[in-house]
Each structure stands twice: as structure tokens, then as C-alpha cells.
Structure 1
Amino acid sequence: MSKEQSENGFETISVPIHYSTSELIKKENPGKKAPQYIAGLTASLAALSMGNTLAWTSQISEELLEGQLGFPVTVDELGWVGSFMPLGAATLSLFIGPLADLFGRKLSMLLLIIPATLGWCLLIWPQNLAMLYSGRFITGMVAGAFCVLSLIYSSEIAQKEIRGALGSYTQMMISSGILFANVMAKFLSIKGFTIACAGIPIVFGAIFIFMPESPIFLMKKDKVQQARTALLRLRGEDYYVEEEIKEIETSLKEYQMHSGMAIVKESLKKSSSQKACIIGLALMIFKSANGMDAITAYTSYIFENVKMGLDAKYGTIILNVFQVGSAVVQSLVVDKLGRRLLLWLSAAIMTVCLILVGLTLTLKEENIVAEEYHIYIDYIPLIALVVFTIAFSLGLGPIPWLMMGEIFPPEFKSLAASVATFVSWIAAFAVTKMFLVVEDNLGGDIVFYIFAVITTIAVVFTLALVPETKNKTFNEIQQSLN
């Protein structure tokens, strides 16, 4: 210890802080973030294909109804064309976890390019309705798997300081894929724009093949040296990897100790685990049941029926531009504003927007407003849906995916995430299929009022039960659930 003279004349005692060698090395070399951003962004290119798949029907609904594929499609059949995509995604979601553990995150995504190409070929050259349904189902399976695997990969390669940002890239790429598909569909034939969509998984594979495998997966397979190499590529050559290697080893040992159905059953007896399951499942249902998937699938169809004073396809593109922009903003603020605030604020704004769309349709359908005054309300649906899309992209779209990895206990995280994803896609399937049925039988305004009720419930649920998980360890999150 050394004595120093302070400004007020008193002697102060200076105590040196001692760091271990590893702590000093880690303090001086916290790791480069750029390689992680690049790897996460590259992995999320797979989600670009999901956006293409979601939006495939968005701009061509009217053309499909007119029989431009060479065979007629009814409104009910159009509902199946739109909804087979989430049904396919739900089917594979139950098996994607074991697939990723068997082949690895990287190889699994690369292998999925094969069925993706097959599915898109069925959509490029459909000869009948069965081929159309099959193409949508297969591309849906691959799109859902791509989305989950890119999220797993990004979360496993990222340091905790940028985990939220990398997780947000998936939603940003989904939005970008939707925009890409809708722009292509506006200016190309159905076959031309479908070929453009089919090329995205191939481009993704050509870039992603150069990225490292997840260090956590490599450690699971006892490939310690390969895990070190992967960490050095992701953190920089000067990064001290041994401490993180030990952390991963400890985490995997704890996971092995807490694996098995007996331990899962024991864990589910805890109130914190039960609340985590309720929250995770509910958020994934809210994510899909708010109407965003149906609006994405039938955007131009909706705008055509609203009869606003703007070309429906241009309206769809405008909507998508704002969606991409808000997804970019979300990736910048998610680790600053927090998950809970963005969730309830997102759902609240979406509720207001859905009510506005519903009211506009009611005023028009019931002839409450004279036709000469429609010009004053024609653009309300477009503006409301733009704000709705922005709000969705900031909170209720990406955050449920992110929170699944944060609140589920490690002893059944994979199982719970698979079930939650399955339930979410089933909800998306039901909403997408029933959208046109309800719209045709009860009116478009009723559809939007139903969605508004769901988002209102999401606001109340978030405020009452959802904890903040920003910058919190798993133990801190569990304590907040007790």
C-alpha cells in the first residue's frame, strides 16, 4: 500500500488492484465485435429466404385468382396456398433441434438448401394445384427451419453485449426478404420473380460456407481445438479464448447434469419454470396471431379490397420499406431500451392501427360515409398498416424469438423452444387460412377487430407477467419469475 496527499490535506491510502493473468488478458482484449456481426449477418441471410416465402402470395393473389399459372385458383384455394407455408414450418419445427445437434448448426443450414431448391422448382413450374400446395409446404418447412437455425447460430457465436443485436438480424432479414419478393413481383412475371426467390438460398450457401461452426456445438462434440479456432475467428487472434472455453465446458456440464425427462419433470414443478413456459408460449402465439402473417400473405389483395387511391402493389412496397427500416432500428435499440418496454409498446400501437383499419372498412362497407368523402379516408388503411408494421418489427415480431432463449431453463430449453415454435406456426397457419374465410363471410372490418382484441390481450399480458431480461443472467431472470 502507498500513502498519497489528497487535495484537502488528508493522507489517503492507495490499495493496488490485483488481476490474474487471464483477467488482465481478457480486460485488454475483450474481443472484436466485427467478425461476430459479419457471421451473424451472413447466417441471417437464410431468413431472407423466409421473407421471400412468406410474401410469395402477397403481390400475386389477384393473378392466381385469374388463373395466370395455367389453372384456376378459387378464393378458398388461395387461402390454402397462403397457409400451407406456415403449416410446413410447423411440421419441421419439432425436429429442427435434434437435426441441429446431429449435423451442427452450419451444416444443417447448408443441407436445407437442397429441399429449398426442390420446393422453389415446384413453384416455378407448377402443373396443377397439388404441385402448388407441395411447393408452398416444402418451402415453408425450409423457411421455418432456416429462421430457427439462424437464431441458434447467432446466439451461440455472440458475446452477451451484442446478443440482442445479432438476434434482431433475423427479423431484419425476414423483412428484407418480404420487400425483395414484393419488388420482384411488381416488375417481373410470376415465374421470373419466383426464380429470383429460388436463387436466395443458393447465394446464402455460397457465402455462409466460409463462416465458422458454432463453438458451443463443437464443444458438445468434444472438438475443443476446433472450438478454439472458431472463437479466434469470431473474437480476433489476440483474444484469450481459454476462459470462454472453460465457461462453455462448465455450462455444458451443468446442462448434462440437468438433462433427462426426470429432471425436466422436476424442473417443471418450480413456479419459475412454469411461468417461463407460459410466457414463452404466449409470446410466440401473440407473435403469430396478431394478423401480421396474413397481412403479409395477402397485402395487395387487402389493398385492392380497401379500394384506396393508390396502386395496391406500390402500397405493398411502401409498407415493406418501412418494415425493413424499423427492423434496422430495432437491432440498434433492443439492447438499450429493453425487451419488455418494446413488447408492450409495440402491441399497444398495433392495437390502435388495427382498430383504425377496421373502422375505415366499417365506414365504407356500411355506407356511413358518403362516397364523395371517401377520398378523406382512403389512405388511412395504408398509413395505419405502415405504422402497424413498424410497431410489429420493433417488438412483437423479433422479441419473442429472442426471449425464448433467455427465459427457458437449460434442462428443457430445446424441447420448450421446439414446442413454442410449433404452436406459433400453427397459430400462423390458422390465422392465414381463416383470414379470407372470415373476410368473405363476416367482412374485412371484423377480421381487423379480432386482431385488435388479440394485441390488446398481448399488452395486458406483457405488463402483468413478462419480466425484463436485458443484460440479465439466467439466474437473475429466474429470480424475477419467482
Structure 2
Amino acid sequence: MSAVLMEVYGRKFVHAVVAVPGIMGWICIYYADSASMIMIGRALTGLASNASLGAIIVGEYSSPENRGLFLNLKTTLVTIGYMMVHTLGHFYHWRTVALIATLPHTASLLITCTWPESPAWLASKAEYDKSQKSFYWLRGKNVKTINEIEDVVKAQKEKIRISSEMKALTLSEKVIEFFKKFGEKDFVKPVIIVVFGGILLEACGRHIFSAFAVQIVEEVTQNKAQSYYFTLGIDVVITTSAVISSILVKFCKRRTLLFSTGFSALFILYILCGYLYLESIDVFSKERTYIPIIMFILYFVLSSLGCISIPLLLLGEIFPLAHRGAGSFISSFAFDIFLTVALKIAPFLLATVKVYGTFSILGIAMGVSLTGLYFTLPETKDRTLQEIENYLNYGKYHVEYDLEAKQTEHCRLYSEGKNVECSDQNFNIFQEDALFGEIFPLAHRGSGGFVDGSLVLVILTITMQVTPYLLVNAKVYGTFAILGTVMLLSLIALWILLPETKDKTLKEIENYLNYGKYGRDDDEARLKIPKVTATPC
């Protein structure tokens, strides 16, 4: 819900509003006289807990140099909260702890009232003067900040210009354009990164250990009486590591910190699991309980430095402004799903494969996530949010926004007979490649996209419905023989119908589909340069 509201009403208003159900939820828990009342309270506090909203606000309000530090401090405060709840829960009644929990929400509400609105959100709503005023209030006014806010304003002006052009589209074309956003590179790639980050966050045992700490420590130490103190000690270690991580992220690159500590933690984890397994079959003595505890501490130190902090930090950096609301929703949804799955399967794993088996399985997920992030995660340290957005779109941090100069250069090349077209489509450096490739002429690109998407969906549905029947009746060899026949017929049809499109402009492909040749006989008309009106940034 907050992801939708933050796009419409702004970051400040929504951050203040979500604190209210948090206060109400803890009050409900304090006065609860039944399980249903506690569930209502937990539901209300759940509405207030949105990690991605806070991360987005910190990312938009802070400077590139300090953004990593502030985002990491946010994670550090979460670990401090875990430690405080464990400590207070040992000495006070749970109703008292619930009442104390209203204080952070109340403080958050009061402090939020003193904020200016997010400069990035104001720019996305074409409130450029207010955006600059808010930006300079937050960051001061110097050459660097002036250049940064100018880049943001230029980028948003171009996006608003594109949006205004879409107003002339039909309803079906607008629907197609909307769903095309979910296939854009600057949306898909951050989602993949967030998914890997969410899996990593849960695989390193952040929530599992907090929820089942007593059970885990009791199995490792064979001492139920001392399990609380071991749990508190590991909480202190995790919190201290989070504080150290906040300092390191100020000086170390994100990728360096994540992968050096992540793979080291994974190595320590498998040594720990191996030791616990050998201990369970009496190869090692169970009396030396300090050995696995020390390895657990070392593991949580390393994982807290990168695997816990970096995924949460990325929530405030990785999504472009145009997708920040949808990205916040998907991030929260994905993180909640991963948390739910982790907490549901953990008791079953701990009961069946013990601690060493549970953490071995988590280690596999952790290794897969680290590998996925290694190939997808860009370096974001000391980069502005606009530079990160540029990298996701164009593969480089700095992009030229001077559209008029690009139009002039394209028209010059066209007049010299080079293979370029002098049209607005060539100059729009912000649009992605057409979702439907090269083959549809401009006049039919909207309807062609609709037909293309519908056919793909129909063919996919037929394939998924027919395949189980074929596997049962025609077996694997018969199924793939039929698929091979369809594949062969498709290749023959494409060989006959498909024109060569390599190094051809979209206009030349359209000419071929209309006239059977790439060029037109009317050379004078072909070489005539249309009048170009440069759209100001």
C-alpha cells in the first residue's frame, strides 16, 4: 500500500502516515485479552513495517558519499532493536515491552513532520523549483549539488515529455505501453538484484536465528540454562558487526565488501556444519561447546558486515525514479515471502536434519545468491541515484542529455548519405528498444504488439495443456518428435517469409514489407531532410 501512496502523495506524507498503524498496533497488543486481538495488533504493526520505504527515503535524501553509511545505520538500528527486545523480554512482561515499542513510532511521526518533501519526487511531478529548494535545503548549494539536481531535472523533463506524447495514444496502446515497463531493463535488472538480495538476507540466518536462537544454541551447547546468555551474546556480536559495517561501507566499495565477507562467511559456515556433523557421530567430543560457538560468532560477524547490510542498503539505491514505487512494492512483497518461507521451513529442518543440516541448506541458497549478485550487481558507492539509473539503462554512469546536438549530428550524417534516419525516434535516448523487435511497421506497432502478446500467451497455454497428455500417451520420445516437427515447419516458414534485418533501419524493413525492396525509387524524396524541431530539455 505504501508503495502506491508514496508515488501519489509523496515520501514525507506516507512515512508519517505509516507510523500511525504502528502505534495503534502496539497499543492493541498491550490491551489484548484474546489471541484475535493480538493478531489484529500484529496486522497493524505489519502495515507500519516497510523496509523499502525507509530505504528509498534515505537514498533520495542523502548524498552519494553518505548514502551507504545512513542506509547501513538503518540496518544497525534494526539489529539494536532485536537485541533490546530480547533483553527487555527477559526482564519485563510482554505487555510492558509492547508499550515501550510505541516510542520509536511516535518519535518517527514527530521527526517526519520537520522534513522537506523528497526532491526526486517533486521533480517527477514537474515541481522543479520546489525540488531544487528542497535539494539545496538537504545538501547545501555548491557546484557539485547544482550539477546533480540539474541532471535529475533534465532526466525527469525528458520522461515527462515522453509521457505527454503518450497522451495521444489509444487506450489499447496505453495498456501495451504500461506492460512494456515491466519488461524494461532498468526495471527487470533491479528486481533480479532485489530477489537475489532477499534470498541472501534470509539464507544467512538473520531472522531464523533470531526466532529460534534458544533452540539452536541449546542443541549446539547441550545447555538449556545458559542458552539465553549465549543468544544475547550473539545479539551483541551482530549489533557490533552492523556498526562496523556502517563504517566500512563509507570507505569500501559495495561489491568488495559484500563478496569478500560473504564468501568468507560461507566458508566458515561449512566448516561449522562439518564440525557439528562429525560431533553428532561422535568423531569429535561434545564437551568442547566453545568451538562451534566461536565459529557461529565468526560467521555472524562476517555475514553481518555484508550479507545482512548490503541487500537492505540496495533497496534505497537500485530502482530508477520512474519505477521506485513499483519497485518498493515488489521488494516488500518478495522480502515478506522469503521471510515467511524461511520461518515456516526452519522448524521442520531443525527437527529433521538438525542445525548442521539446516545451515548447510541455507549455505547452498547463500552461495547461489552471492553468485547471482556477482554477475548482476553494479557498483553504487559514491554514485548519484541518477548515475545508477543511467548505468542500468545504458551501461554507463554518465549520459549526454543534449538532444538538440544529437539531432543536428544525425541530420548532418543523413545529408551525407549515411545510413541514419532524421526522425525524432532516433534522438530519444531515453526510450528502450521496441519490445516487439524490428518487424512491425510504425503504423501497426501498437496493434501488432497486442497480437504478438496474445499469440504468445495462447501458444504457451496450449503447450502447457497438451504436454502432460503427450508425455503420458506418446512418452518423452514421441512428445519431442512432435515438438521437433512443429519446430521444423516453423523454421521452413521463417526461411521463406523472414527478411534480413541486420544493419537495416526500421524504415528500410518497412519498405521491404510494403514494396519487396529496402530502398525507394524516389531518391529525391528519400534524401529530403525533414524539418527538425529540437525539443528543449
Q: CA deviation at 1:163?
A: 2.1
| Residue 102 (structure 1) aligns with | 8
Q: Does 1:214 align with 2:118?
A: yes
**2:286 partner SS:** helix
Report the 3-state secondary structure (helix = DSSP H, G, I; strand = E; otherwise coil) of the residue aligned with 2:117. coil
Instruction: Write out aligned runs for 1:78-227 (5 A).
Output: 95-143=1-49, 145=50, 147-221=51-125, 223=127, 226-227=130-131
The 2-side partners of 1:271 and 1:230 are apart by 30
Could you say which residue in structure 2 is the equivalent of 1:470?
381
Work out whether 1:350 is the aligned partner of 2:256. Answer: no
For residues 334 and 124 of structure 1, the distance between their equivalents in structure 2, rounded to whole angstroms, comes to: 38
2:217 maps to: 303
Measure the CA separation in 2 of the matches of 1:123 and 1:359. Answer: 42
CA pair 410-206 structure 1, distance change in 2 beyond 3 A: closer
Q: Residue by residue, what CA displacement relative to the aligned partner does 1:377-427 show, whole Å, maximum 9, x if unpaired?
A: x12343233233322322122322333454445543432342233112201
Task: Tell me how far apart the structure 2 counterparts of residues 163 and 426 of structure 1 sit (CA, whole Å).
Answer: 27
State the distance in 2 between where 1:466 and 1:243 align. 26
1:287 maps to a residue whose letter is L
Cα distance in 1 between the residues matched to 2:242 and 2:294: 18
The Cα of 1:206 is off from its aligned counterpart by: 3.0
1:179 deviation in Å? 1.8
Counterpart-to-counterpart distance in 2, 1:367 and 1:398:
37
Q: Post-superposition shift, 1:274?
A: 4.5
Deviations 1:161-186 (A, max 9, x none): 22222222221111121122122223
Q: 2:231 is matched with which residue: 298, 302, 316?
A: 316
Structure 2 Cα separation of the partners of residues 360 and 130 of structure 1: 44
Aligned to 1:374: 286
Q: Give the TM-score taking structure 2 as reference length.
A: 0.63
What pairs up with 1:403-442 in 2 under 5 angstroms?
A: 403-442=314-353
Residue 283 of structure 1 aligns to a residue whose secondary structure is helix
Is it true that 1:393 corresponds to 2:304 in the alignment?
A: yes
Preserved contact between residue 157 and residue 234 of structure 1 (Cα < 8 Å): yes
- Cα distance between partner residues in 2 of 1:171 and 1:303: 24
1:223-267 CA-partner distances (Å, limit 9, x unpaired) = 555545533432348899766554443232244356676456556
- The number of residue pairs the alignment matches comes to 382
- Greater relative CO, 1 or 2 (CA 8 Å, sep 6+): 1
Partner AA of 2:202 in structure 1: S
Q: Distance in 2 between matches of 1:223 and 1:463?
A: 38
Identity %: 22
In 1: Cα distance, 2:182 partner to 2:280 partner? 50
Structure 2 gaps of 5+ residues are: 164-173, 397-537
CA distance in 1, matches of 2:141, 2:377: 40
Q: Deviations over 1:321-340 (max 9, x none)?
A: 22222222222222432122
User: In the aligned structure 1, how far is the partner of 2:356 from the partner of 2:317?
Assistant: 37
Change (3 A) 1:280 1:221: same
Q: Looking at CA atoms only, which structure, 1 or 2, has the larger radius of gyration?
A: 2
Aligned to 1:7: none
**Distance in 1, Cα, partners of 2:218 & 2:94:** 19
How many angstroms apart in 2 are the aligned matches of 1:154 and 1:298?
A: 31
Bigger mean CA deviation after superposition, 182-191 or 248-257: 248-257
CA RMSD of aligned residues (A): 3.2
SS in 2 for 1:298: helix
- Cα distance change of structure 1 residues 239 and 457 upon mapping to structure 2, 3 Å threshold: closer
Q: Normalization by structure 1: what TM-score?
A: 0.69
Aligned equivalent of 1:340: 255
The question of whether the paired residues in 2 share the 8 Å contact of 1:171 and 1:393 is answered with: no
Distance 1:126 1:366 in 2: 47
Structure 1 distance, partners of 2:32, 2:352, is: 30
How many Å apart are 1:451 and its aligned residue? Answer: 0.7
SS of the residue 1:375 aligns to:
coil
CA–CA separation in structure 2 for the residues paired with 1:258 and 1:161 = 32
Find the residue that maps to 2:379 and give its secondary structure.
Answer: coil
- Relative to structure 1, the CA distance from residue 191 to residue 157 in structure 2 (aligned partners, 3 Å threshold; closer, same or farther) is same
Residue type at the aligned position of 2:55: L
